[in-house]
A and B are shown apart, each in its own frame.
Chain A
């Protein structure tokens, strides 16, 4: 039986029009006009137990609305949704016992208290039996090496440390479904790696069904085998990451910073995506030329200060996907 089933989910919001200028502002004081936004327009998918799926899409595409519906926060206009055999927006209290939620930008820990006290409070909130609580906590703390942080007040933790503690906090009641909303947002590169590593181990050892929303393609690449892409309130793609990339483009970007600019000559196999002073971003197809060969060639011909190979940003991929959809 799937852990999550979603069918034809629709959610609309009424948004007040903002009129420009001082006169408009004065009018708005007395009379408002509204227009309707379809945040979810027939979303459907299902998840098997133990799956870790990346839920991606541009800002305002409907990601967080979907998560809010699945978490039981929002009631949709229409559509079917079952999480672990329950309709999330009915019997909120019973539903949320089975889920854990991490909001990347907001901690659920008590700011001025040591981490361990937040954990204890969550035990009371979720009414977890003491024996089970202690076992879960000790296991997670050992798994993630959080022992030394437990007595530190939350406000003194770094963002990355806090995020790891937040993730543990959301798992103390052993939820069967975990929502991770932007878990790496605002983290420095080292902390991002630590959090990803943590999530990978969690996935291996605990097998919690997880929905990960993120802007960071590297998160997806490191963690997810399956990607669901939402845009304009409906599912634009559902499959493996490779399939997504392959369907859209094979290209990679090489960003080069030259020691002195202006000497760029057209090279075979690459096109210039953009240039800014001494910085050039080149796109190439790894089927035509391997990244290592291209770098060797560029470095031999130009005075290079810095080099970086990356995937096209998610926004580019989505834009391409849409270009492709529209004939």
Chain B
């Protein structure tokens, strides 16, 4: 285990040194990301300018959801790049290379790249989060700070699990991956609002199937001290981010099933 961690850090070091070779284009890319996400948030603000609220939630409250999910997703996109980009690894035949090395395939894919680029999106999410907290006048007690960190980390784990599932799908097809985007990017879009604004069947997908609500909606309720229209108990709201960790723990089983399929069909 310690050996795996050391190798992972070596991989990440190599990836960072490689990215530093393209500094100018990196800065340009990060700024580009910052611009588009900032623009999206301003567009959201424009809607609140027209409508005032959504089901009784104001812009600064929704901004808390937005900030949590943006930070989590940006961090995850940074570390899970190898899985996000796995269809290319399969198409190039580079997965064969990973199989002839004496290390777990999961570790090797995870170590493929740490993408710094997502720092733009992360900073934007963080700014929105801070603006929201300041506007709402949230009292920052230690438990609340820990809950915010827990929600973001739980979110990173959840998205990481989704990226591993998406990569696993590549063992069968590299053509219909866009469907997985509905769960990753679509999940981000969905989680920017309280799940109660959606219809019940859709809401339930993001509570029970892909439990994104557990890393945004439920902890946000506890942070805001609001009662849940769905009736969840407070203790659950505090522990909900752990569900994200559990979700990630399931992903390796599916992955190994995919690797077995690959080794028997070679495609």
Contact = CB atoms under 8 A, between A and B. Distances in A.
Nearest to A117: B14
Contacts of A106: 92-94, 97
Contacts of A289: none
A75 B266 CA distance: 9
B239 to A, nearest CB: 37
Interface string A65-87: 10010011111000000000000
A191 interface: no
Interface string A1-29: 00000000000011000000000000000
Contacts of A75: 263-264
B103 interface: yes
Contact of A68 (B96, B101, B104): B96
B157 to A, nearest CB: 26
A73 B17 contact: no
A122 B10 CA distance: 10
A93 B103 contact: yes
B101 A125 contact: yes
A96 B100 contact: yes
B200 to A, nearest CB: 32
B211 to A, nearest CB: 33
A153 interface: yes
B265 A73 contact: no
Contacts of B266: 13, 65, 68, 73-74
B21 A153 contact: yes
B206 interface: no
A125 B102 CA distance: 7
A89 B264 CA distance: 10
Interface in B87-122: 92-94, 96-97, 99-104, 108
B97 A92 contact: no
B55 interface: no
A127 B99 contact: no
A127 B6 CA distance: 11
Given A113-B17, A127-B3, A97 B99 contact: no
B173 to A, nearest CB: 11
A52 interface: no
B26 to A, nearest CB: 12
Given A125-B7, A125-B102, A73 B96 contact: yes
Contacts of B136: none
Contacts of B17: 112-113, 117
B10 A94 contact: no
Contact of B99 (A13, A96, A124): A96
A106 B93 CA distance: 8
Given A14-B265, A96-B101, A124-B7, A113 B96 contact: no
A103 B96 CA distance: 10
B18 interface: yes
* Chain B contact patch, size range: 20 to 34
A110 interface: yes
Nearest to A74: B266
B11 interface: yes
Nearest to A76: B264
A160 B125 CA distance: 47
A160 B264 CA distance: 34
A89 B14 contact: no
A73 B100 CA distance: 7
A121 B102 contact: no
A103 B101 CA distance: 13
Interface in B250-267: 263-267
Contacts of B108: 125
A13 B265 contact: yes
A225 to B, nearest CB: 26
A126 interface: yes
Given A68-B266, A74-B266, A110 B14 contact: yes
A77 to B, nearest CB: 9
Contact of B10 (A99, A103, A124): A124
Contact of B6 (A99, A112, A124): A124
Given A14-B265, A96-B99, A153-B21, 16 more contacts: A13-B266, A68-B96, A73-B96, A73-B100, A74-B266, A75-B264, A94-B102, A103-B93, A106-B94, A106-B97, A112-B17, A112-B18, A113-B17, A117-B14, A121-B11, A124-B7
20 contacts: A13-B266, A71-B99, A72-B100, A75-B263, A75-B264, A89-B263, A92-B99, A94-B102, A96-B100, A99-B100, A108-B97, A112-B19, A112-B21, A113-B18, A121-B10, A125-B108, A126-B101, A126-B102, A127-B3, A153-B21
Interface of B: 3, 6-7, 10-11, 14, 17-19, 21-22, 92-94, 96-97, 99-104, 108, 263-267
Interface of A: 13-14, 65, 68, 71-75, 89, 92-94, 96-97, 99, 101, 103, 106, 108, 110-113, 117, 121, 124-127, 153
* Nearest 10 Cβ contacts at the A-B interface: A112-B18, A97-B102, A93-B102, A101-B100, A73-B99, A96-B100, A112-B21, A124-B10, A96-B102, A74-B266
